[in-house]
């Protein structure tokens, strides 16, 4: 990958920046990086081939090998994807005149000399964190803009008079502000090289407890959240050796598609991303709750207690003694002994998995009570297992349960709900009942999840029994083979007898090849969870995430002013109520995305409903006024914008979204999307057209929807009314 031509491809308007005094040092350094990259790619390719050819092994060894293959593959893909543009920029400190180059990952030459420092390392922190008020020891900083693998522009920032030496490529606007004016696409832009000091401080914050990142539209909350995931996987000792222990939760599928490439571009491909719907199979088809009163009831974490009571109802030991017959003698089983067996399950084990433990404990108790010493105990146990009355009584007292069935019964059997939630007023009992027990809504998902956590997979016990039977069958077959080999062994040392050893028998049966269930990658536990648009989560929905994060390590990203159903309390109070205790606040107050022309129009909209809304300060202007017009002009407005802009994307935001009449009158184009306000959250567009914004509704929800929709614009906002 030796550089045969300049890494710089500066346009004629930037001819002054081609001065060798400005770029000669960079050119020499990029040549070294190119040579190192070529060697690194060859080395990684060789190591990956060797790792793939190596024996797979079993258990921990197999997992370690798979993780190493995944790590090498991700690193190789990153090197091949970026090449020289792995380099983000350089910085010069007061103590060392030689520039330090910062990259997406660390890189050294064959002698071990540092060519690039990883952006997440402590050594790179001044590159992102230095400001004129706090230079962090720097005299200058340079950021590059890469286009198709070559530098199309660069910007110098000088913090001291000494920094001007070799750094005269100064502009009226910074690299970051210049990047904000570029056209958007269907995926979030790569912004690593232009992360600002306030964002970087939050990215590098520690992971214990819950870190709340509060900020208005355009402050870079999503950027912070995603880059924080990559940073924690690099720096946090709890996460470094466990790729995949981080979960990122977004508001909707469009958001996940928009940010899909961010973490891979940072070299992290093992992070799980999902919406709350994705945590359950029922989530895909779940409808919105149409009755606000029902949605309010189901938003409470208190009502989730009904799930525990509903399951406990099926874990009650028989209160009467019974006589269990065997071919040799009857065994008297008392209520106390039933209770002893039912109390034997390990704490926290799901109901269906605990069932086997309780059954085995019950058999142990009965075998211990059998007092005929002449009968082999394994025959007694076999007789008990085949006792229909005993198995029928046990199945009724501790049945296998279906999580969906339990929740469905709560919403369709009034007496069952009253038994499990006796504190509810009578009117609420009636409100929660419905004819179709399994007509799932989004509000049901926390209850289904709680039931699944408490009950477990309904088929898990059956799968375990099938697996155990398969292992026993394989061991029995192997025993027959060993017996045959020993009989046929006529050697003097009789070496085949060694196969009777337990270690040999265990080795000869490949349990990894036996049937097993595919793991649920979203089941957890996760060491850290990042929640974007967290202001929308109900108390009940928070429990879905807390159950997957026993360490309570969270990054909570949101804006109280963008909560569609209101958010009058503080973050501290909300999170403490749902179960988080160690809470740290961080705030972003600068709007880097939304032009001041748009914010001037959007701010009064939200303040009319929420006077104390945290409206961020916009620091850029697009020079384009907000356009007001008629819905009748929608088609021509979009058509003219597409003709005038060869790049960029736009969005029509209406109450109806893609199924509305507005989307039918615009020219079909992959660069124009039709969305509802709710589905526009977390996204950004060069052009935003609001269609009849007053139809979004009244009150806080309507105001928030209008505010969110307006602030998606990075260049032009158009508001059309009928």
Closest CA to 155 of 290, 10, 272: 10
524 is in an annotated binding site: no
Closest CA to 560 of 541, 533, 539, 584: 533
* Residue carrying the six token digits 């192997």: 478
User: What values do phi and psi take at 716, rounded to 5?
Assistant: -125, 135
d(CA 52, CA 50): 5
* Residue carrying the six token digits 């090197």: 79
Residue 446 in contact with residue 538, Cβ under 8 Å?
yes
Angle (deg, nearest 10), helices 20-53 and 59-82: 150
218 is in an annotated binding site: yes
Residue 558 in contact with residue 532, Cβ under 8 Å?
yes
Burial classification of residue 501, based on how many CB atoms lie within 10 Å of its CB (0-12 exposed, 13-18 middle, 19 or more buried): exposed
d(CA 411, CA 18): 72
- DSSP bridge pairs for 655: none
d(CA 463, CA 482): 28
Burial classification of residue 699, based on how many CB atoms lie within 10 Å of its CB (0-12 exposed, 13-18 middle, 19 or more buried): exposed
283 is in an annotated binding site: no
Which residues have CB under 8 Å from 89's CB, separation 6+?
101, 102, 127, 141, 142, 143, 144, 154, 193
Question: Length of the chain, please?
Answer: 722
396 is in an annotated binding site: no
SS3 527: coil
- Dihedral sign for Cα 76, 78, 81, 82, please: negative
Other C-beta atoms lying within 10 Å of the C-beta of residue 389: 11
Structure tokens at 711: 């602030």
215 is in an annotated binding site: yes
Q: How far is CA 700 from the centre of its chain?
A: 29
Residue 123 in contact with residue 173, Cβ under 8 Å?
no
Closest CA to 531 of 595, 574, 565: 574
216 is in an annotated binding site: yes
SS3 142: strand
Q: CA–CA distance from 296 to each of 301, 404, 443, 445 (Å)?
A: 11, 21, 9, 14
698 is in an annotated binding site: no
H/E element, 209: none
Closest CA to 585 of 196, 205, 200, 204: 205
Which residues have CB under 8 Å from 350's CB, separation 6+?
453, 454, 455, 456, 457, 460
d(CA 87, CA 29): 11
d(CA 241, CA 130): 30
Would you call the peptide bond into 525 cis, given omega within 30 degrees of 0 as the criterion?
yes
393 is in an annotated binding site: no
Q: CA–CA distance from 255 to each of 202, 233, 437, 681 (Å)?
A: 21, 22, 31, 8
* Residue carrying the six token digits 């929800």: 701
58 phi-psi bin (left φ>0, alpha ψ -120 to 50, beta other): beta
Structure tokens at 262: 């961010």
Binding residues: 215-222
Binding residues for ATP: 215-222
């Amino acid at each position: 990958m030796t550089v045969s031509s300049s890494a710089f491809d500066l346009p004629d308007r930037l001819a002054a920046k081609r001065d060798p005094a400005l770029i000669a040092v960079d050119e020499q350094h990029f040549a070294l990086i190119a040579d190192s990259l070529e060697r690194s790619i060859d080395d990684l390719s060789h190591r990956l081939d060797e790792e793939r050819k190596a024996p797979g092994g079993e258990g921990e060894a197999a997992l370690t090998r798979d993780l190493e293959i995944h790590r090498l593959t991700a690193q190789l893909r990153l090197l091949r994807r970026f090449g020289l543009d792995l380099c983000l920029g350089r910085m010069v400190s007061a103590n060392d005149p030689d520039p330090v180059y910062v990259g997406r990952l660390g890189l050294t030459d064959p002698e071990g000399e540092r060519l690039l420092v990883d952006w997440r390392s402590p050594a790179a922190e001044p590159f992102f964190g230095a400001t004129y008020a706090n230079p962090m020891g720097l005299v200058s900083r340079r950021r590059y803009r890469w286009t198709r693998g070559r530098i199309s522009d660069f910007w110098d920032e000088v913090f001291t008079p000494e920094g001007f030496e070799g750094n005269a490529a100064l502009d009226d606007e910074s690299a970051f502000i210049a990047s904000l004016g570029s056209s958007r696409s269907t995926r979030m832009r790569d912004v690593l090289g232009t992360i600002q000091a306030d964002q970087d401080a939050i990215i590098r914050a520690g992971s214990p407890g819950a870190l709340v990142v509060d900020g208005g539209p355009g402050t870079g909350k999503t950027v912070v959240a995603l880059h924080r995931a990559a940073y924690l996987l690099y720096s946090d000792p709890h996460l470094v050796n466990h790729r995949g222990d981080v979960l990122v939760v977004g508001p909707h599928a469009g958001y996940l598609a928009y940010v899909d490439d961010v973490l891979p571009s940072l070299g992290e491909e093992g992070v799980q991303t999902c919406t709350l719907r994705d945590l359950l199979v029922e989530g895909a088809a779940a409808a919105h709750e149409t009755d606000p009163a029902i949605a309010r009831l189901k938003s409470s974490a208190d009502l989730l207690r009904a799930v525990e009571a509903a399951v406990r109802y099926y874990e009650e030991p028989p209160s009467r003694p019974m006589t269990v017959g065997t071919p040799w003698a009857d065994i008297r089983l008392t209520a106390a002994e039933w209770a002893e067996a039912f109390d034997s399950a390990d704490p926290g084990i799901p109901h269906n998995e605990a069932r086997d433990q309780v059954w085995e404990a019950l058999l142990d108790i009965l075998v211990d009570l059998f007092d005929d010493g002449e009968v082999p105990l394994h025959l007694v146990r076999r007789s008990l297992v085949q006792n229909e009355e005993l198995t029928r009584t046990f199945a009724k007292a501790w049945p296998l349960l279906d999580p969906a069935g339990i929740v469905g019964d709560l919403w369709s059997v009034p007496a069952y709900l009253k038994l499990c939630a006796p504190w509810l007023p009578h009117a609420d009992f009636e409100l929660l009942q419905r004819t179709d027990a399994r007509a799932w809504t989004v509000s049901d998902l926390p209850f289904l999840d709680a039931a699944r956590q408490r009950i477990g997979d309904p088929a898990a016990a059956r799968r375990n029994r099938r697996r155990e039977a398969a292992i026993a069958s394989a061991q029995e077959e192997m025993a027959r083979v060993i017996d045959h080999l020993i009989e046929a062994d006529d050697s003097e040392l009789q070496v085949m007898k060694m196969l009777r050893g337990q270690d040999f028998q265990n080795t000869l049966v490949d349990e990894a090849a036996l049937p097993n269930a595919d793991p649920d990658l979203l089941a957890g536990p996760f060491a850290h969870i990042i929640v974007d648009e967290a202001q929308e989560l109900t108390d009940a929905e928070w429990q879905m995430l807390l159950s997957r994060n026993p360490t309570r390590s969270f990054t909570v990203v949101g804006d109280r002013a963008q909560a569609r159903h209101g958010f009058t309390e503080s973050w501290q109070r909300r999170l403490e109520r749902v179960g988080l205790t160690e809470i740290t606040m961080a705030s972003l107050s600068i709007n880097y995305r939304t032009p001041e022309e748009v914010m001037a129009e959007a701010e009064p909209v939200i303040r009319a409903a929420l006077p104390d809304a945290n409206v961020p300060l916009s620091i850029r202007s697009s020079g384009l006024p907000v356009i007001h017009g008629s819905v009748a002009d929608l088609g021509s407005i979009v058509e003219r914008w597409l003709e005038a802009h060869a790049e960029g994307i736009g969005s029509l935001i209406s109450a109806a979204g893609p199924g509305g009449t507005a989307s039918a009158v615009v020219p079909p184009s992959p660069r124009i999307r039709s969305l509802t306000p709710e589905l526009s959250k977390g996204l950004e567009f060069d052009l935003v057209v609001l269609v009849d914004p007053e139809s979004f509704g009244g009150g806080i929800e309507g105001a928030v929807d209008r505010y969110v929709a307006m602030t998606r614009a990075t260049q032009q906002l158009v508001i059309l009314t009928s």
